[in-house]
Structure 1
Amino acid sequence: MTTDTADTAAPAAPLLRAEDLHVSFAGRNGAARARAVDGVDLDIRRGEIVALVGESGCGKTTLARSLLGLVPPTGGHVTFDGKPLDYSSRALKAYRKRVQLVLQDPSGSLNPRHTVYDAVAEGLRIHGYGGDERAAVAEALSRAGLRPPERFFLRYPHELSGGQRQRVVIAGALVLEPELIVADEPVASLDASVRGEILALLLRLRTELGLSALVVTHDLGLAWNIADRVAVMYLGRIVETGEVEQVLTAPRHPYTQALLSVLPEAPGDPVVLTGEPPDPSRIPAGCRFHARCQILASGEAERAGVADACRGRDLEVLDGAGGTQVACHWARATVAG
C-alpha cells in the first residue's frame, strides 16, 4: 500500500552559512580586543544575491574576508555546501576555486606588468588547470562582456577603461567557474555611466550560470538594483535583514532609516547621524546604535516605554535564514503595540 504525501520538502540548505560568527583583533599595548564582527548569522542560497550594507568601519569587509577564509573567525563557524570550512592550506585552495573575490579597485587588483590574458589565466595556473587554457580565458572574457576576447589578450591594464578593467577582474573570477562570488564595492570606483553595465553583468551571470553573490557596499541604491535580500550591518552586527523591497521601502531600524534618508529620491529631510560609530573595542551596553539614535534622541523611544532597554539591554543575534528581522527595541515595541 502506498501513501500520498503533500510536498512538504524543507527549503534547500544554504550554499554558504555563517553561524554566530565573531572576528576580533588584538588591541595595541594591552588595549581591549576590537570586535570587528561580533555575532553574525548569515545564509546565502544558491542563485541568490545578498547585499551587505553599512557605513565604512562597520565590519562588513572583515565579515566578507572571514567568509572567504582569509580571516579565521575567533568564534562561531562558516559552512559551505553543508561542510564546515577547513582552514588548512590545501582545503582553502580548493574552497577558493569555488568562492571567488571581486575587489572594488580594478586598478589595484591588476598587475600593471601583466597582460589581460595573464591576469585572467593566473587562477587557472595556480589551481593546475589541465584543460585548454586559451579557450577558458576566452570564454571568461566573453562572459564578462569583453568581445571578441582575443582583441584584449595582449592589452595591459593602462590601455583599458575603468569599466573594462573591472570586467577583466570579473573574468579572472569566472574563469574558475565558482559557485559564489564576493564582490566588495564592485562599482564604487566607476563612473555612473558604467556602474549600470557592471550591475547588469552581475545579474546576467546569476541568470546564466546560477551564481550566488554577496555584494558588500555602502550604497543602498546599489542594493536596491541588484539584491534579492539585504543585511544592514552596524558595529559588527546585522541590525536589520530581509527581502530587499521590504527592508528598503519600509525600513524599521532607525539606522536603516537614516541610511535611506540621504538617497536623492527619499521623501522628507535627511537624517543626520551625530558622531561616529563607537570604537569596536568599546561597544556600548544596550543597543549598540543608541548613542546616535534619532528615535532615542527625539523622545519617541521614551514614549514607547523602551528607552531604558535601548540604553541597557542587548539584542540577540538575528537569524540569518532570510526572514524580515530587526534588532531594535523601539521597532519591536511599535509593532507589538
Structure 2
Amino acid sequence: MTTPPPLLSARGLHVAFPGRHGGAPSRAVDGVELDIRAGEIVALVGESGCGKTTLARALLGLVRPTAGHIGFGGKPLEYTSRFLKAYRRRVQLVLQDPSGSLNPRHTVYDAVAEGLRIHGYAGDERAAVAEALAKAGLRPPERFFLRYPHELSGGQRQRVVIAGALVLEPELIVADEPVASLDASVRGEILALLLRLRTEFGLAALVVTHDLGLAWNIADRVAVMYLGRIVETGPVEQVLTAPRHPYTRALLSVLPETPGEPVVLTGEPPDPSRIPAGCRFHVRCQVLASGEAEQAGVAGACRGQDLEILGGGSGEQVACHWAGAQVTG
C-alpha cells in the first residue's frame, strides 16, 4: 500500500530574526523537515528557547520563513491575505493560557462565535457554537452561552478555547502547551479530549510541549527539537523507550518513572545567533563529556562536523555522530 501524502509538510524550513545592533541573525528555526498526516498527533518537544514555538507559528503562516517552504493538502502555502484566511480556517491554533486568550468582557458564546464572524459564516451560528461546545465537552452547551471566563474553571476555559478552534471544523490544530497552566487533575481530561477529537473526527494535531510525559500519553509520533533543529524523531514508543540522542535521554531522565539518576545538562542552550560548529548539542553533551564519544572515535566529528537535516518522514531518525557509531559499530 502506498503511504498517503502528508496533510502538512515543511521542507528545509529556516526562520531567522535580525540580530541586535546589526549583529548576526538569530536562527530560531535552522533547517527543519516535518510531516503531519491526517488524523495523526505529533508532539514537538524541547526546552524553552529551542525554537518550537517559532516553528509552530511558521507552520500556521504567522511567521514567514527565511528559506524553505510549507505545504498543506499538497499545495504550497501562499502569503497572500486571501490564501492565509482560507488556510487558517483549516488549521487552528490552541494557545497555552486560556485566561490570556479569552477576552474577559466576552461571553463564552461570543468567544466561540468570533471565528465564524471573521470568516463570514453563512449558516446557523447558534447551532454551530452549540455543536463546537458539545464537541469540546461542555454539555449542555446552552448552559455556557452567557457565562464569562471568570465564571469558569481552568479546565472549562481551556475547553472554550478548544471549542473556538473547532467551530470552524479545521483539519489540523496546533496546540502550544495545551495543559501547561492546568491542574494535574484536569490535564488528563484535556488530553483525553484531544484523543477523542482525533478518533471521532479525524482531527490531526501538532502538540508543542516541553513535557515528554505528555508526548507519551497523547502522541503517535514525537519530534525532539534542540537549537532550531529536530535532532530525533520517530514513533513515540520507539523514541521514548529507546532514545538514541543524548539530549532525548537527558529530557527523559528527569521524568519520575524513569529509572536511574537524572542527567543534569551543563549550562544553557547556546545563543541561536552563535550556533556552535559540529553537533549543536556537543557543548552540553554528557556522552562527549564522559569520554564515550572519544572511545567510539567520533569526538572530533562531534566538535567539528555538522549533521544532516533529518527528513520529515515517519521512520525513526537521529542526528548524532555517537548514535550513528553505535549502529555501525
What is the TM-score normalised by the length of structure 2? 1.00
The unaligned stretches of length 5 or more in structure 1 are 1-8
- Once the two structures are superposed, the pairs formed by residues 1-337 of structure 1 within 5 Å of their partners are 9-337=1-329
Question: How many residues get paired?
Answer: 329
Percent identity between the two aligned chains: 85
In structure 2, what is the Cα distance between the partners aligned to 1:279 and 1:209? 41
RMSD: 0.4
Shift of 1:10: 2.0
In structure 1, what is the Cα distance between the partners aligned to 2:161 and 2:326? 46
- Aligned partner of 2:74: which letter? G
The unaligned stretches of length 5 or more in structure 2 are none
Name the SS for the 2:283 alignment partner. helix
Q: Which runs of 4+ in 1 moved over 2 A?
A: none
Name the SS for the 1:188 alignment partner. coil
What is the TM-score normalised by the length of structure 1? 0.97
In structure 1, what is the Cα distance between the partners aligned to 2:2 and 2:235? 19
In structure 1, what is the Cα distance between the partners aligned to 2:319 and 2:24? 25
Name the SS for the 1:231 alignment partner. strand
In structure 1, what is the Cα distance between the partners aligned to 2:8 and 2:141? 32
Name the SS for the 2:56 alignment partner. helix
Shift of 1:294: 0.1
- Aligned partner of 1:226: which letter? I
Name the SS for the 1:145 alignment partner. coil
- Aligned partner of 2:67: which letter? G
Shift of 1:235: 0.1
Shift of 1:127: 0.2
Shift of 1:322: 1.0
- Aligned partner of 1:319: which letter? G
Residue 4 (structure 1) aligns with: none
In structure 2, what is the Cα distance between the partners aligned to 1:211 and 1:316? 31
- Aligned partner of 1:305: which letter? G
